[in-house]
Structure 1
Amino acid sequence: MLENSHEAIRPEVFPFNPSKPEKLISTIINCNKKVTKEKIKSERIFKYILKYFNYEFFDKKENLLDNCKAYTCVLEQKYVSQSYLTDYSHYYTTSFSEISKFTSRIHFFHSKFNEEEFDEYAILNKDSKNYKGQQIWESYLGYMTIRPLGGSPFGTILFKTYPYIENFRSRYYNSILEDFRFDVFGEQIRISSLPFQQQDKAVGACATFAIWCCYHKLQQLYKTKLLSPYEITKKAGISQIHSESMFPTVGLDGYQVVSIFEESNLRTETFSFEDKQLNPSLLKEIIYAYNKCGIPILLGYEFDDASDNYDGHHIVAIVGYRLNQPSVNTNTNSLKKICSKLIKTKEKKKEIGLVAHDIMRFYTHNDELGPYSKVDFDMQNNNTCKIRTFQLDGESPIIARPTALWIPLDHTIKVKYENVLAAIKSFDKFLLKFMTDTDFLKWDIRLCLAVDYKQEFSNSDSSDNIFMNNLKRKIRYTSFPKYIWIATLTEVDENNDEYPSIDVIYDASSLPNENCIFQINCFNEELHRNIKNNSNLSEETDKNPNVKNYPNYV
């Protein structure tokens, strides 16, 4: 009689205790007999997970504002991970040693419950009137996959992000997948997250797994095929380039990173900082301009001091950032705040203000540390940019120098950020002839899908203001290119209230030698008239021929 290998395995439920993680460690070892207690305790990813799910933030009145604290774990055995299974079929299955094709998942919950309560309420839904099962599932925080590999036991990890809290924590995880759906014991789970995975140094190193994280968002943005780590390394041509080492890869170089994206019909915007000092403001501007619309960015950096844990170079995926203060709300619901009074200013600004400069840190998927790991700016002087990666308890600060950025783009996006910045600097000087005398002016420059821009206005409330209604018609009826660059001028009044004054739209698909300005949308009627009736500006016209064309775009 054949043994039934498909019997139901009841999940084990146990408390999560970051200060005493012995139970979690023993559970991982039971799922992966190739690892030891010492190995797990020494893993930086394991230490990071303990810290990640032990976080609470209270205000001065002891009100809980920020919370991603886990209290309960649930073990799911014999789980089929699609990413691991693909790598298994291509690579691990040919090994002489016995490696399982199955993984396990450990799920984290904010609620406190035991095994019996999970079975009765979350699975059998016995107490549907009191919604105890619903409360358990609503407290779901994410999972980590345990794969049967001795060197790198942590497979796909999917964690809920820390929340955005107005005036306290201005976090923007732009590259996560909103409403990411997956199944847990038959329950449809929805969280906003981006998959992460520890590098295994077999089918890929840091660049491979950073690209793998990016592809989950690129699939949504550009409809590209989702690739496994093995497939990514294979597309880089490792076996042909490194003939002395057929596949256990030591990493990808910049040309291979570009070639992988090219295989998916994507163009890569590359910024190299190897031979010059990098101004931290420029790094912030690039990250903000491209990441705000969700595009994940690969960042390469070089450590100041190499150690046993680092070979000197590393590549991570930038998935978001945090601002010093909440950014201006460019949704048109805020148009009611528009100030109608315009006063000529006499002072000329040397440099324009940018919202991007408010970035205080950015978040990365760092395959040697964990998902959403913080990276702060470590200022050496005004002309040199150094970054400080997140440090675990007992670790010394890790300082590094950014060396390169790789930004995967739709092949129709031809206009670069520096082209738009140069155009806005010129337009900013033009505006100062009749612009508001406010405390401060800031430009919000970012790449955007035109459909997202239109939807901002479709979701806005109706207005009795004829001027604003005509503007709304203009934007919604205009046929836009798929991708646009938007530069929103933000004004800050004496009450520190922020509101948009103007949107300058550029066609992202324009040829480099063309005038890529597409549309100028003023949220202030008097400003609109000033630009429309542009006259007596012969001096500016001589300096910038585009000035005479500005009235045609409002």
Structure 2
Amino acid sequence: MIKDFVFSYSSDRLRESLDDSHQAKYLIRYLADLNAKTCVLEDKYVDKDYLIDYQKFYSRSFYEEKRFTERIHFFVEDFSTTKFEESLENNDIEYLRKSYLGFVVIRPIKGSDRKRLIGRTLLNAYPDEKGSEKRVFIRGNYDVSLFGIPLSVSSLPFQVQDQGVSACATIALWTALHPLADTYGIQRLSPAEITELSTSFPSEYRNFPSSGLNWGQMINCVKSMELDVETINVENIDDDDIILTAIKAYVKAELPLIGALKLTKKNNPPEYHAVTISGYQCNNRGKLTELYAHDDQIGPYNRVTPDGSFKRWKNEWNDSGHEVRLEKLLIPIYPKIRLPFARIYPRYLEIKERMIKDYGDDFDFELYLTTIRKYKEFLLESTIKEKRKILIKSLPRFLWVLRAYYEGSPLKDIVFDGTAIYPKQVSSIEFRI
């Protein structure tokens, strides 16, 4: 074990391991926001994703690259090397489990900027509440072992593109598909494997080194994994309501959305970039005030605010003179969810407008996708009319729910069959206020 493998959190010390890339600087700031106090370094860690990428690309290169990565763990508890070693000796680990923030893997290779590449990263998201505003994130529970200590982190994986085997679209797919392995039982692939799968759809460019995937190749990748896709073109829409409604609907269903961005900079041709939308923040009336994106050129849970509307984004890209426009959304979905957003959204608008006309504009509305299991668990804990009758009623496995709120409390649910081809109402539920 190396000397000083336990050290206090500081930007200078972390920069020695993470290097000085844009993503490393972001992670240092992000960890400060999470109140990180102590770091523990594993200096010889076998990372599955990197090992697969190494086998498929770097093992066949003339210059020898290392097979092992480094992994740094972060804690909010302040402790020394001596205390940590005593904890290992005495199995006194509860304070470590309670204060764990997650980890960052550092690959032993460098990017085009000659900075070390950030590998698979799992860090806690921001707190679920910020004053009166609430945050909703896509995240799963991941078990972690540190020298035999069982830890866990609730997060969505992040890593930086390695142009030998992947580009931004590959990483966006890797991030978006990761949580669906547990939800739908699909295989978890490394970035190199995603690039291989995607490029079975013909392109004029080489597979490796990767120059990026086109929209068709991204769709091909998702469909090759026995999933289907929902695509929403928002380039020419008049307002951002469809964007916000779609993001809330799918994030609440724990389905990541891939955003296709157009980056423009004065005197430069436009560039295209892909990110994974991983969460949102809303006020007490449910209006979105902030998005969160896993952007491989910035970092995990990157804060995005509207530039007039959420068709145009404000984030770190603006610091380099780029204007950011959202053009398309791609959502990997389970094939049995047959009612697409494009067909339920007009019905949602129709019902919303009718209720506002009949009862006034003191109501708030949301549309979201869910499963029968999650929905009935919610109803079981709610105060609704005809509760017993509704709970024993047979409903489809997947549901679209249109919910009306009054003063922040649920007032009425109109429920649609998510397995139907066209909107088919299957239930109407009234809450007791």
Same fold (TM over 0.5): yes
Contact 2:122 2:153 in 1 (8 A): no
Q: Which has the higher strand share?
A: 2
* RMSD over aligned Cα atoms: 2.5
Structure 1 partner of 2:157: 195
Supply the distance in 1 between the matched residues of 2:367 and 2:232 (Cα, whole angstroms): 18
Range that drifts further, 179-188 or 296-305: 179-188
Q: CA shift at 1:306, angstroms?
A: 6.7
Supply the distance in 1 between the matched residues of 2:352 and 2:167 (Cα, whole angstroms): 45
Structure 1 partner of 2:77: 111
Q: TM-score by structure 2 length?
A: 0.92
Task: Give 1:445's match in structure 2, choosing from 367, 374, 377.
Answer: 367
1:198-222 CA deviation, whole Å, 9 max, x = no partner? 1011111000011111121111222
The alpha-carbon distance between structure 1 residues 229 and 181, as it changes in their structure 2 partners (threshold 3 A), is same
For residues 307-456 of structure 1, what are the structure 2 equivalents within 5 Å? 312-323=271-282, 325-326=283-284, 355=286, 358-379=287-308, 385-390=311-316, 395-396=319-320, 398-428=322-352, 431=355, 435=359, 440-456=362-378
Task: Give 1:81's match in structure 2, choosing from 44, 47, 51.
Answer: 47
Contact 1:15 1:71 in 2 (8 A): yes
Aligned: 1:245 with 2:206: yes
Q: Secondary structure at the match of 1:148?
A: strand
For residues 226-241 of structure 1, what are the structure 2 equivalents within 5 Å? 226-237=188-199, 240-241=202-203
Contact 2:74 2:103 in 1 (8 A): yes
Q: Secondary structure at the match of 2:109?
A: coil
The alpha-carbon distance between structure 1 residues 391 and 113, as it changes in their structure 2 partners (threshold 3 A), is farther
1:269-320 CA deviation, whole Å, 9 max, x = no partner? 112234x245222211111122211100000111121799x97111000011
For residues 41-56 of structure 1, what are the structure 2 equivalents within 5 Å? 41=20, 43-55=21-33
Contact 1:238 1:246 in 2 (8 A): no
Supply the distance in 1 between the matched residues of 2:299 and 2:358 (Cα, whole angstroms): 50
The alpha-carbon distance between structure 1 residues 307 and 459, as it changes in their structure 2 partners (threshold 3 A), is farther
Structure 1 partner of 2:6: 13
Supply the distance in 2 between the matched residues of 1:249 and 1:420 (Cα, whole angstroms): 37
Structure 2 partner of 1:340: none
Which runs of 5 or more residues in structure 1 are unaligned? 1-7, 29-39, 56-67, 328-354, 493-497, 526-554
Supply the distance in 1 between the matched residues of 2:132 and 2:90 (Cα, whole angstroms): 38
Supply the distance in 1 between the matched residues of 2:201 and 2:364 (Cα, whole angstroms): 49
Q: Secondary structure at the match of 2:101?
A: strand
Supply the distance in 1 between the matched residues of 2:266 and 2:345 (Cα, whole angstroms): 36
Supply the distance in 1 between the matched residues of 2:307 and 2:381 (Cα, whole angstroms): 40
Q: CA shift at 1:165, angstroms?
A: 2.1
For residues 60-99 of structure 1, what are the structure 2 equivalents within 5 Å? 68-99=34-65
* Number of positions where the alignment pairs a residue of Structure 1 with one of Structure 2: 429
Structure 2 partner of 1:522: 430
Supply the distance in 2 between the matched residues of 1:287 and 1:27 (Cα, whole angstroms): 36
Aligned: 1:499 with 2:395: no
Structure 1 partner of 2:15: 25
Structure 2 partner of 1:530: none
Q: CA shift at 1:475, angstroms?
A: 2.5
Q: Secondary structure at the match of 2:186?
A: coil
Supply the distance in 2 between the matched residues of 1:430 and 1:322 (Cα, whole angstroms): 27
Q: Secondary structure at the match of 2:110?
A: coil
Deviation >6 Å, runs of 4+ = none
Contact 1:238 1:249 in 2 (8 A): no
Code of the residue aligned with 1:213 in structure 2: it is T
The alpha-carbon distance between structure 1 residues 119 and 506, as it changes in their structure 2 partners (threshold 3 A), is same
Q: CA shift at 1:125, angstroms?
A: 2.6
Q: CA shift at 1:405, angstroms?
A: 0.6
Structure 2 partner of 1:124: 89
Q: Secondary structure at the match of 2:108?
A: coil
Identity of aligned residues (%): 29
Supply the distance in 2 between the matched residues of 1:410 and 1:223 (Cα, whole angstroms): 10
Q: Secondary structure at the match of 2:277?
A: strand
Which runs of 5 or more residues in structure 2 are unaligned? none
Supply the distance in 2 between the matched residues of 1:220 and 1:509 (Cα, whole angstroms): 21
Aligned: 1:297 with 2:219: no
Supply the distance in 1 between the matched residues of 2:415 and 2:57 (Cα, whole angstroms): 48
1:120-162 CA deviation, whole Å, 9 max, x = no partner? 12x1237x5xxxx422332221111111112252111111111
